[in-house]
Amino acid sequence: MRGWIHMQRPSWRVTFLARSTRRLFSAQNSVHHIRVPCASSGEITVSLNNITQNPQSTDPLVIWIPPFSQHNSSSSNSSHPIPSWLQRYPAAVINYRWVSMDDNPLPSTSPPARELTSAMPTPFHWPTPLADVFFGYSWILDSLSPPDGGHRDIYVVGSYLGASLATSLALTESRTDRPMTVRGLVSYNGIYDWTTFLPGHPIQHAKPPKGKQRFASTLQQNQPENEGGPMFQVLRQLTPDLFDKPANLFDPFASACLFFQSPPLHVPPDFETSMNDVSSSSDSLSAAIGALSLHGGNDYLENDASPIRRQEIPISMKPPRKGYLSFPPRKSTLVIPDTFLLSSSPSRYTATPTPSTADKTSHLFGLGPAGKTIVRRKPPTMKKQKQEKNNFAVQASELAWLMQRSVATMELKERMRLEPEFEDFDARVLEAERRVQLESMALDDTNLDVEGDSYFGLSAQGEGMVVEWLEEKIEEGRKNGTKK
């Protein structure tokens, strides 16, 4: 989907800015910083780790999307350090430009947004960071692809703001017809539906349904200010600075969940106002129509003294009905990549997607082998406790469910024509859960070290889980010849 940004491919001629060495266990790890032009929008830095000696190798490549932007991403001084547990792989870092977190990366408490942003430099609003990431990715394809059409798998890794960007990159650049393409995604503590921060979103006032529930964003109103953790609150408070206008939150490249479903609200006039707040009753609208009839219609509107002239007449709008979308498009070469979504959350929250059992309300799916009836079960569900709050785990759970639903009901349903094992809906659900994995951990991000290895925000246990997942997928790619 790089054509969506109407970008030009960056020049092959690049400038090496700096070379440094870092300790990689007992070996030396070389890092090169390269300037990549972004058409008329300046340039960014792409940092190469363990790549320059054999840039066109067929070894799997990790693309690291940093958690936050720094002041000047075209300078080698602003490049982000790669976490130590990623330094074992050939890796490229795309240093995008967005609102910088350097001045106040993580306050001990959650201050008002105006206080938090007062020390920020002039921000780069959306979609600048998106364009930066795709320019960087385009350069990586041009410069690091193996010769003669050799295969090379890419695994995209990101956290926090980088998680949103990494997810949109992975979902739109995982293609079956390209020898070098995205095969996997690791995302930690991302926001996958920024519209949930708007006051008019249903999750701000919906009540949890009684009994067993299918996955849906159901959050209580008046949630505590510190709910979701300090970093979650920082991202919520920075939303106006990150996106400039509410319409940008509805971009699926920012809110990846909107690739799979339509938003359940209209675009509001600003970040603080709900469309319900600007709605008017039928009585006030009738009164306005009566005033127009009494005072002469258009002549009355043109009079500056007219109260109707001096203020707009709001019209009540029903919120749109949320519906599912077909993604990836049926005739495209896009495919849902293998995905590992991690999140930190309150320990009382359980975020484990599990298939539901068939019940009396299930619908018949069709006839399976030997004429046996296959019962359509509900899509994968997740267990929740009664009081859910908007946090990183909720964001990850909804995206995981939507991706699993796409794999089970679209991709595998098509594949079952040639692969009979997927005629069984249970088999499709299990495969979808294998492809898109979810892990929620009770972690505290108040001690996030923006200078050290914990910049990614994971504990040693979490880092081990990611490395294990990467090694497993890399081995699968080698055995299967990069084919699912």
Bridge partners (DSSP) listed for residue 19: 32
Could you tell me the CA-to-CA distances from 316 to 202, 275, 301, 313, 339 in Å, in that order?
16, 8, 21, 10, 41
Span 171-182, pLDDT tens digits: 999 999 999 999
Question: Is pLDDT larger for residue 383 or for residue 35?
Answer: 35
Bridge partners (DSSP) listed for residue 188: 159, 342
pLDDT of the residue at 142:
96
Quick one: which of 61, 99, 67, 60 has its CA closest to 81? 67
Could you tell me the CA-to-CA distances from 438 to 139, 325, 335, 434, 468 in Å, in that order?
31, 22, 18, 10, 14
pLDDT of the residue at 118:
44
Span 142-158, pLDDT tens digits: 999 999 889 999 999 99
Cβ contacts of residue 213 below 8 Å, gap of 6+? 381, 384
Residue 8's pLDDT band, with cuts at 50, 70 and 90, is very low
Q: Count of alpha carbons within 13 Å of 439, Cβ hemisphere only?
A: 18
Rounded distance between C-alpha atoms, residue 245 and residue 461, angstroms: 38
Q: Three-state DSSP class for 440? A: strand
Q: Are the C-beta atoms of 390 and 245 separated by less than 8 Å?
A: no
Of 3-12, 51-60, 96-105, 186-195, where does the model show the most confidence? 186-195
Span 236-254, pLDDT tens digits: 999 999 999 999 999 999 9
* Run of H or E residues at 53: none
Q: What are phi and psi of 173, to 5 degrees?
A: -130, 20
pLDDT of the residue at 230:
85
Quick one: which of 248, 250, 272 has its CA closest to 125? 248
Quick one: which of 288, 58, 327 has its CA closest to 183? 58
Span 346-370, pLDDT tens digits: 554 444 443 333 333 333 233 333 4
Residue 445, both tokens: 């991000």
Res 372 pLDDT > 90:
no
Task: Tell me the domains of the chain and their CATH numbers.
Answer: 2-188 (3.40.50), 194-270+319-448 (no CATH)
pLDDT of the residue at 273:
86
Quick one: which of 436, 442, 355, 358 has its CA closest to 397? 436
pLDDT of the residue at 414:
84
Bridge partners (DSSP) listed for residue 64: 93, 157
pLDDT of the residue at 286:
56
Span 408-421, pLDDT tens digits: 998 998 888 888 78
Rounded distance between C-alpha atoms, residue 261 and residue 38, angstroms: 31
What's the mean pLDDT in 462-469? 92
As a whole number, the mean pLDDT across the chain is 74
Residue keyed to tokens 């009684």:
210
Per-residue burial over 46-64, b = 16 or more CB atoms within 10 Å of its CB, e = otherwise: bbbbbbeeebeebebbbbb
Residue 41's pLDDT band, with cuts at 50, 70 and 90, is confident
Span 199-250, pLDDT tens digits: 988 887 756 544 334 433 333 333 444 566 788 999 999 999 999 999 999 9
Rounded distance between C-alpha atoms, residue 94 and residue 166, angstroms: 10
Res 460 pLDDT > 60:
yes
